[in-house]
Every structure is written in structure tokens, then in C-alpha cells.
Amino acid sequence: MPHITKKYNFIAEFFDIDSMGVMWHGNYVRYMEAARCRFLDEVGFSYLKMKEAGFALPVVKLDCKYIAPIEFNKQFCIEVELLEFECFFRLGYRFVNMNGARLCQAHTSQVAILLESKETCLYLPSEFRESLSAFINHAK
Amino acid sequence: MPHITKKYNFIAEFFDIDSMGVMWHGNYVRYMEAARCRFLDEVGFSYLKMKEAGFALPVVKLDCKYIAPIEFNKQFCIEVELLEFECFFRLGYRFVNMNGARLCQAHTSQVAILLESKETCLYLPSEFRESLSAFINHAK
Amino acid sequence: MPHITKKYNFIAEFFDIDSMGVMWHGNYVRYMEAARCRFLDEVGFSYLKMKEAGFALPVVKLDCKYIAPIEFNKQFCIEVELLEFECFFRLGYRFVNMNGARLCQAHTSQVAILLESKETCLYLPSEFRESLSAFINHAK
Amino acid sequence: MPHITKKYNFIAEFFDIDSMGVMWHGNYVRYMEAARCRFLDEVGFSYLKMKEAGFALPVVKLDCKYIAPIEFNKQFCIEVELLEFECFFRLGYRFVNMNGARLCQAHTSQVAILLESKETCLYLPSEFRESLSAFINHAK
């Protein structure tokens, strides 16, 4: 699979910061979700389109490695990398600061669930996989 | 209307605390929601029962006055007071510490919305008002 | 006082949306904080500068009136208006959608607290008031 | 190391639930933190005591496997298991419903950082390790 990454910038808000003066580790998951939604918008297959297509994409696995803290009002970038989209929709997230230094490395895995039957799909819906393939080809 | 109050205890969690070492003001709204749900459970008319009855109860007004800070791992109590339930479902919230000192004073107003038509009800559904009346009479 | 407003755009994220399909009312407070920080950055007096100047600016009052819901992935704008900066730092927030329709109207009041003595200031520190005056004059 | 587990009960709050009607995956991290704090309170070494002892315990690694969804107002239990406390303070979290069915499996790793020098400790402070050993021996 060709190497596809997209970058999204964010700012650490006051309510993200814990009593140690750094972003609380649980709040990184919010920014991963925000970056993932921007990515899916670029692909042309947002959660809203998935709903219309009759499926949802719940997160079934998550891992994060925290490398360096993020402070209040500091800008940071999340580089989203598409890792897999056959059975699982799998993304990598590389948080870097404005000098390119790594702050956090994370991954999510999502599966498709049919909204009507609540069944888990063995493969991601073909419509979604085709959109991702077209996105990759276009990005080349 | 007779004076009805119910008390619910909570603990300030690590993720509630901001970089000034006190509960972030926006997080009080979460505890107000938690206390309101406990109260509605006691009334016997949870959000789930409302859904079955075909309506929702969105918050249309909120005000908070912050009096003294809440620190990490400190227990606090929210005294929920039923203020009105005709057109609006109106509650008062008095946050106190374990010595009874006031920490915050707040109010919410909610209206009923029919789930099917999305219309706002001029009066709260009679089923809900009757449950609240019965709850008050029982508490007397 | 001259009429000063500044506008900031946001997007309703997936984690902002509750089970009724609209932004949970408590999450508006997060966006008010984000807008307030952008505004203070423009003034040139961020929370970090306040810390250096020896004071903090806790929210002591908050009110919100929710007018129309905000849905997932929808852009919205917060118009921040400076209302007062003598004893209280008071801001108004007008949430509007991309067609200019009002979604929410809110206010916050903040007081200055000296970091060392924990005393509440009767007046906002003169340094801060001067920055706000200069900002207003410059915006005219 | 002897097998030590402690159980803590929680309720899924309205603001935990996303537009798919289940707890948003990022909110599990909040409950893991709450359970961890209860556990450290039982050990007798809360974050407050750590601060007095001159260190903090930031999370450096996190992984979650989501097995079954958690719905609004449903009670659930987190079984916290102490896995390691030499270089890393490592805990396992098993979310189960009231029938004992597994909902989520997660782990966190934390390291000690000296508050003054900001240095990462190669080993957890001996004071902390001794408290954990005593806790294990007492639990046997």
C-alpha cells in the first residue's frame, strides 16, 4: 500500500491542561478523533456519509505512547497515516511540535458495523474501500 | 410548591482539575448533569423513560455562580432542588463541601421536545408532571 | 465603552455530540474558553502573560441561553464581545451558524486573583486594563 | 508477584454517550483514571502524597481493546490489577458489566518524574514501591 499521510494542526486549549501543567493524557484521544474526522472528510467519506450508507465505524483498539508533554496554547500537528483498510480501518497518528519533534505516537483500529442488524462486517464495506483506494490513487 | 431537595455526593477527579489546581469551571456542568440524572432516577422518570414516552428534555438555560474552588480528590455534595415543572423543568444546584460551605450555586431550565415532530411543548408532558407531583407528595 | 467584537470559527466534533445528535450543552463552555483565549491572545494578554504578571482570572459567573442545536461536523462562529473590564472582566458570546442564525447567547464574568496571596483584586490589574484599552483604541 | 485486583463501580453518564448511543471510546480513559486514583488511595499513596514526596507519575503508555459497548445509565465495574512496579507502574483494567461480561480490556504504564529536576526516574521511588509491597502483603 502506498504511504499516505495527512497533517492537521491544533492548539492545546486551557481545558486540556491538567494540574501538572501539561495536556492530560486522555485528551489526546479527542484530537485523534478530530484529526480522523478531517481525514475522512478529505477522503469524502465522513461519519455522516457512513450513516447514509448504513454502517458505523466504532473504534475497537487504541494505543498511545506519550513521548514529550504538550503545554498550554502550544500548537501541535497530527500526522495521520492510513495503515490498513481491508478488515480493519487502521490509522497511525504522529503528534509533533512546530519544530518537528515527536510528542506522541498512537494507533486506532475500527471495524464496520451494520446499523440495522448491528452485525460486525468481516470486511469494510466495498463503497468505503473504493473511496479510500481512489483517495490514495489521487494523492500519488 | 413544597420545598424538595435531594443530595448527591461526588469526588473531584484528576481530569477535572485545571492548571490552577482547581476544578475547571466547565466541568461543574458535568456534575450537574450527573446529579440531575440521579434525581430523575429517583423520580422514576429517567431520560430513557422520556424517550419511550416520546419526548426529550434539552437544557435551554444554564447559570452558575462560582463561590469557592474545588480541589483534587475532595468530596463535594450537590443539593438538587426542584424549582418548577409546568412549562419549564427548572432545578437549582447548591454545591457544598463536606463542612457545608457553599462552593457553587447554579440553575438549569429544560423544555420538553416531541421526538417525532421536533416540536417544543408549551407544557411539560402530563405523564412527567404527574410523576413529579407524586414524588413530591411521597417525599412530604 | 466602544463596541468591540471578534469572531472565531469552530467545528462541532464527534465527541461534542450527545445521544440526541446535537452538541451536549456542557460542551459549549469549552468553545467559549477557546474563543476567550483567542481573544486574549489578540489583546496580547494571554493566561501565560497573566501568570507572569502574578495574577489569574478565574470565571466567577457564567450564563448560557441555548437557542438552536449544533450538529456534528457543522461549522459555527462565536462572536466575542468585550462588555466590561473594571472590576470584572466580562465577555458576551454569540454563537451563530454560517448563515448568521443565532444558536446560543452566553456571558462570563472573571475576577483577578493574586497568585501569591490568593487575594481577589477589587479592580483588574492596571497592566491588564491598559492592554484592553489600547486594544480597543487600536480596533477603532 | 502475587495477583492483586480491586474493583470499582461506575455509572455511564449522559455526557459519556455519543451519537451512536454508546460510551464514546475516549471517555473510558476518564474512568480508568478514576479507578486508578481509588486504587492509589487504597494503597495510601495518592497523587497528593506523591507531590509531597517530590514526584509525579505521568502515563507514558496506554492501550485499550473495546469488546462490547456501554450504554447510558448502565452500571459497570473496573477491575484494576497491579501488574508491575519496578521501573514502570503498570496496571491492567478489566471493564465488566453487572453480569460479569467483559466490555473493555486496557493497560497503562506510568513512570516517576522528579518534580524539581524534571528527570525521569529509572526506578519508581523506593517509598512508593514499599507502600505497594506493604499493600500486597496486607491483601494476601
Domain boundaries, chain A: 5-139
**Using 50, 70 and 90 to split pLDDT, how confident is the model at C1?**
low
Q: Is A34 helix (H, G, I), strand (E, B) or coil?
A: helix
C-alpha A73, offset from chain centre: 22
Q: Are the beta carbons of D74 and D97 closer than 8 angstroms? A: yes
Note whether B9 contacts D: Cβ–Cβ < 8 A.
no
Evaluated on CA atoms C89, C94, C98, C100, the torsion sign reads negative
Phi, psi of A129 (to 5 degrees): -65, -35
Nearest to A73 among C14, C15, C37 (CB): C37
- Residues in D closer than 8 angstroms to B46, CB to CB, are 73
Contact A69 D62 (CB under 8 A): no
CA distance A80 to A3: 11
Pick the residue from chain B with its C-alpha nearest to D41. Answer: B73
Strands (E) in D13-119, as ranges, are 55-56, 59-66, 75-85, 89-97, 102-110, 113-114
CB pairs under 8 A between A and B: 24
Strands (E) in C4-116, as ranges, are 5-11, 55-56, 59-66, 75-85, 89-97, 102-110, 113-114
- Residues in A closer than 8 angstroms to B72, CB to CB, are 19
**What are the angstrom distances between the C-alpha of D19 and each of A56, A120, C7, C71, D14?**
11, 18, 28, 10, 11
What's the grid cell of residue A124? Answer: 469494510
CA distance A95 to A105: 6
Whether residue D140 is predicted with pLDDT greater than 80 in this model: the reply is no
User: Residue C139's pLDDT is what?
Assistant: 81
Q: Which residues pair with B81 in a beta bridge?
A: B5, B92
> Which C-chain residues 63-102 have CB contacts (< 8 A) with chain A?
72-73
CA angle A25, D31, D108 (to 5 degrees): 50
The alpha-helical segments, DSSP class H, found in A13-116 are 28-43, 47-52
- Residue C10 C-alpha, separation from nearest chain A C-alpha, in angstroms: 12
Whether residue D39 is predicted with pLDDT greater than 90 in this model: the reply is yes
CA angle B104, B106, B111 (to 5 degrees): 160
User: Residue B35's pLDDT is what?
Assistant: 98
Cβ partners under 8 Å of residue D4, min gap 6:
D81, D82, D135, D136, D139
Note whether D137 contacts B: Cβ–Cβ < 8 A.
no
Contact B73 D41 (CB under 8 A): yes
ipTM of the complex: 0.95
What is the arithmetic mean of pLDDT over D37-57?
96
Weakly modelled stretches of chain A, pLDDT under 70:
1-2
Q: Which residues pair with D63 in a beta bridge?
A: A63, D107
Q: Is C41 helix (H, G, I), strand (E, B) or coil?
A: helix
Cβ partners under 8 Å of residue A134, min gap 6:
none
| Each residue's pLDDT expressed in tens, for chain B with a length of 140 residues | 667 999 999 999 999 999 999 999 999 999 999 999 999 999 999 999 999 999 999 999 999 999 999 999 999 999 999 999 999 999 999 999 999 999 999 999 999 999 999 999 999 999 999 999 999 998 87
Note whether B21 contacts A: Cβ–Cβ < 8 A.
yes
Contact B61 C66 (CB under 8 A): yes
What's the grid cell of residue D59? Answer: 502515563
Assigned architecture for domain D5-133: Roll (3.10)
- Residues in D closer than 8 angstroms to A70, CB to CB, are none
User: Residue D130's pLDDT is what?
Assistant: 97
What's the residue count for chain A? 140
- Residues in A closer than 8 angstroms to C108, CB to CB, are none
- Residues in C closer than 8 angstroms to B59, CB to CB, are 25, 66
Fold that domain B5-139 belongs to in CATH: Thiol Ester Dehydrase; Chain A (3.10.129)
User: Residue B139's pLDDT is what?
Assistant: 82
User: Residue D1's pLDDT is what?
Assistant: 67
Which class is domain C5-127? alpha beta
Q: Are the beta carbons of D13 and D77 closer than 8 angstroms? A: no
